[in-house]
Structure 1
Amino acid sequence: MTESYGFLQFLFNKYSETEYLSEAWIPINEILKQFLQNSIENFKPTSYQAIYCKVYKSTCKGYKERLFNDLKNLITEHCLNLKIQIDESIKKVIDDCSNTHMNIFIHQFTDFLHQYHRAIQAIVPLFHYLDVAYVRPKMRSTIEHELLFLYKTVIIEYHINHVFAVLQQLINASDSSSMERINLLLHLINDITPESAIKKRDLFKRYYNGEDVLHEIMSNEEHMITSTSIILCIMFLFLFSFEYNVNFAGPFFDQTVYTVLSNFSVSTPNNTQVFNFIVKPQTIDTRPSFIPITISNRARDMTLGNISVTSSHPSFTVVNLANDSYALLTNTFGLHAEIQNVYLLYIRVLVNPPLIGSIIIRLKDENDQIPTFDIRSIVLSVIEREYGNRIIAQIQAFDRDIDYQNSYVQYRLNERLSDNEALGNFHVEQDGTIWTNTIFGEQTNKTFYRLFITAYNDVPAWNSPTQNSQDFQLDIQVISINDKRPVFNNGLTLISILINETSINGTNILNITIVDLDINTNLNLGILKGNLRNTFIFTLLSDNSYNLTRTQYEAIGQLIVIGPLDYELISDYKLVLFAFDTKNIATINVTVKLQPQNTKAPYFDIMPGSTSYQYQVFEETPCPILDESCVSYSTRMLENFSIE
């Protein structure tokens, strides 16, 4: 008996604050965080008998209310952390309405909810005694219900419209998650907020296997409405009896998701009305629910509050029409479906708590884009003497309109701009293929054609009865077969010229004409032999390659002096000039003779080191001739000398 009394005295002896924290809450807190932070993949339910005992002792030692509040604070903090991550995901969806971000949001929301549900299933049994001893009798609730309600108020109610809107958008785009994941998501949502099955009846019927749950909810709907009415009556009686100040419940939209098919063209001006919507009161009060209603001394003191309804996309803005009616207006001149044809907008009602509704706007594509070529012209070569009906090219233009009828491009030959000769020699198919059946070089000697090909839409432009179009220039050159030999000066094989030996570098001493019946000849000119000391150079002076209507190739070559000339060293040059057209070579002999000029002065052949001639003669002795002579380099001139 004494031992039993001692145990009871120990059990019901109150914890001190330090004992509660060190012996109970800190170990419990660590285990709870482990449950909450584990992911679905590595979650392992475990029996924690020691934790159950700590909960039992804390309840018995006077800390049941403190323990319950600490539990709720921990769960609330965890839910707020999850909400921050979900808010970041939905912000990415709002900023960039791509299916990738939408799927990431749905997966994250499902995983967080599944993880939380698993954690609650493991946490609730640990607090069984606290549930029985405190929560049920004191709170008229259960720990499981309270913890699920925390998740519902912090996350579910704030993001449920986002979840349904994004999920519906993915389903419509055939890019949603698997049936199993959608079923899991709806199952988890139904466990926490079963009224969602009523709002999204079609979605739950299609993807949620629990048809009996939906039937049960629908069968009890009448009872729920009756119960709600009774509760509302009790609330109003309570308010008027005890003079409480209240704010009625927040507003809601007349639809969960708005879908708008726009017929706007790119000329749509700013402030064009897209559609109207209503923000309705959520209470039985006839005044807008965002107006704070104060009940004081059993009389209503109406103080108007401010509401701000905004759009999440800068291309649209929201204005208040009257009372609860609002309009979504375009805020950008020219909505282009080519840039974005589907908008997922979120309309934010800035009240406390805030309200967010979603809008899906699909723009109708107008034929406002013209077929466009990457380049506007090319030069194409075809070879002569080819036979048969053959494709020589295919061009392609791109139209950025997203509607198939508006973006479908066809092609035709522009007969007004093209050469007359081209009309009978070339044909353009509707797919941009260019054909010819002409044998160039036999049926026609024309070597150049200019075509203009028009890319066009078959439907009129959005702002004109005419078609959108763009022209492409195609220049066609006929490449002849190189089977003709170049010819110098009408067949001459020898040319002789006389030049002064004083001709300076750069002097053009001879122009020679070269003709080739192959019209696309590329000539190389040069000196094959006889160019002693590299005195001359033979180069191209001009040709008629610029003349697109030529019937033969004509060129002029020039022979130029590039080195010193000296008659005494070399008096004539026997050159062999050539012209080469990459296949055939032609030569011509050119003799260059130098004409001597008086370019050097005479001089005396004096012995090195001497400056004069010295002679010794004897007086009165005749000397018929001196033994020295005067020399001149100029052997072609007659010099006169005298001795004084």
Structure 2
Amino acid sequence: MIRLNIHYCYLLFILFINRISGQICENNIADFFYNVNFAGPFFDQTVYTILSNFSVSTPNNTQIFTFIVKPQTIYNRPSFIPITVNNRTLDMTSRNIIVTSSHPSFTVVNLTNDSYALVTNTFPLNYFSPYNRYLFQLIAKQIFSNRPPVTSIAQVQINLENDNVHDPIFISNNQTFYISETAQPGTQFGTVYAMDLDNDEILYSINCIQFCIESLTGVLRLEKPFDSSSQSEYFITVTATDNGSSCSSRPSCRKRTKSINIRIIVTTVNKNSPRFLNQLCGKNISFDENNTIGKEIVTLIVLDNDRGENGLIYISFPSEELRTTISGLRNTAYSQFYIEQLDQTNTTRTAILKTNEIFDYDKPGATRVWYLFILASDNGKPQRQTFCSLRINLHDVNDNAPVFIMTSWNYTIYRSSINITNIRFLRIIASDADSGLNGMINYYIGTVNVPYFSISRTTGTIKFRQNIFGLSYLNISRFPIIFYVYAQDRGTPPLISKNNATVTIYFNDNDEPPVARWLDTHYEELYISITEKFYEIYRNQPIFDYNYGFNGSIMYELTSQTSSIMTVSSPFLDNTNIPFRDIPVVKNGRIFTSGITVTR
């Protein structure tokens, strides 16, 4: 009942349209029913088949087959379509026909009039299409001027034959691999992967020297161990070659290859500490005084066989914390020197230890020995360090000539006190501000043919010659005897005093005693050795040296009531810097006692 109602309404609707539309709708009824597929252009075949295997390596624009498409006319229309409707002639004239392919790998080319050709539009064709074939449609559309276009369809089947048309493809083209420098031969560290769209198997190859590759899997392995001269990175050419199985049945089948460059980075391990070369550590290094600022003292060379940041060397003094001793005293010597680093060359770096000030060896209180630590560090993680200890010695240059503390010396020989067993009379004293051999002095009499007297070369003491045995050998009339003495140090080259000392010796032929005399002849020349600890233990006490037979007291006698004073002075120009002074004189009759004490 419901279905009848719907049908009835539908008929009413059509009739209603006809009534409203009038002649227009009536004239277009035939065209409406004519717009169906089987009313389109005519193909000369409904199915086109290429059964023989069509090679996938066929070039673009290759003609596969030709076909003909005819348009619909009044002579080949379907029998159910009338020529006229209500005395109106249908438009059955031939119009434009467009033939296309439903598959993008093929295209249709119009040859002449109704003749067409199917040609390839893709290279290479896809062998791995379903069932190894292409199945698609040719679509012909005929266009009219006053009615909708009409179409018709023909089926196409093309069976494919495989061929080796694709080069291997690497996944990806930019491949980077990493391997530790400590890796052992045989270590596998990565896989190179390639694919082949022809579904062929792939073989991998490289120039097998430092590295090799498994031909079937593309697995990379280390062939030789790394050494200190090895590179930090390598660029290796890897070649992938297919086996050509996709076209093995074809006599002209060839294998295809593809190559890429891969990057292999050798990751460093900080396994070596910097090492000082040229065997300087623990040695004594000397440089001359009176240097210029920036004077080169010693050249240090440090080696680190690690690569990259692990082998980057820094040479410096220790940090402020490391410069402080266990007792809390800070080593201030480092401020007097500096280190100049040169650019690193391969695995070695050179640094030069230089002076930061001018040094004078003979300056009172001057430091003459320094103990320095040089630190060599790398930039690895963890950081490695090496210390080098150096003893730096300031070398005394013979730059000071001897200077007499007096240029005029007088001495009187008393007949009453002369003793052949004591033939020393006067000691001439000169000083030399240098140290060591440079400050040691030899004395010489510069006057020719001086009678009776000679001088001790090392002490400067004036004494009788060896052939003078008593007063009977002296000609009193020749007195006073005057001669000059010069001093020469033992440095290299030796320096001679600029001003000579004049010595005048008188002879007192009376029985008068000498004005003063030492109670012990040792007092004339005291050689006393004291240690550094003497300053701490015996501060403000008289200096003594029991090994030398000296108890610390210096005693002399005056033969007259003349007052006496004893002073301690240095032969150096600046007496205020000597750490000694005289002890106040104690008088006991004609005997006077004094001594020398340490002040600091």
- In terms of fraction of residues, the more strand-rich structure is 2
- In terms of fraction of residues, the more helix-rich structure is 1
TM-score computed with the length of structure 1 as normaliser: 0.40
TM-score computed with the length of structure 2 as normaliser: 0.42
